[in-house]
Amino acid sequence: MGNKNNKSLFWYGFRAKVKEFFGGVLLFIGLSLGMISIINENAFWIIGLICIIFGTVLFFKGHSQRFDYKQQSGTMIHRGDW
């Protein structure tokens, strides 16, 4: 692998971590809005549900991209999937 491939692989893994992070943030926001709307009996649960759906999709896309990154970089062969 040349230097160009290593830089490309680094950004591939970085984007995967960012997707996972923002997916987790959206999940947290969605769950918080859902709980608040249940307590206050208002319609924010719809926004919370949308955040939960997008957060879940984003989190799992980032997780699968991170898994693919580990396969391509060879770290999974040496250390396992952590």
Residue 6 lies in a domain: no
Q: Is residue 1 part of a domain?
A: no
Domain assignment present for residue 25? The answer is yes
Cβ atoms within 10 Å, residue 25: 14
Assign 3-state DSSP to the chain and report helix, strand, coil percentages, each to 5: 90, 0, 10
- Domain containing 37 equals 15-73
Query: Residue-wise pLDDT tens for the chain (82 aa)?
Result: 455 566 677 787 888 889 999 999 999 999 999 899 888 888 878 888 999 999 999 999 988 888 777 777 676 655 555 5
What is the reported pTM?
Answer: 0.73
> Would 34 be classed as within a structural domain?
yes
| Domain-located, residue 46 | yes
- Amino acid letter at 39? I
Residue with tokens 């060879």: 74
Q: Please tell me the total count of domains within the chain.
A: 1
Considering only CA atoms, which of 17, 63, 24 is closest in space to residue 32?
A: 24
The number of residues making up the chain comes to: 82
Note whether residue 10 is domain-resident. no
Q: Is residue 66, in this structure, part of any structural domain at all?
A: yes
In a domain, 3, yes or no: no
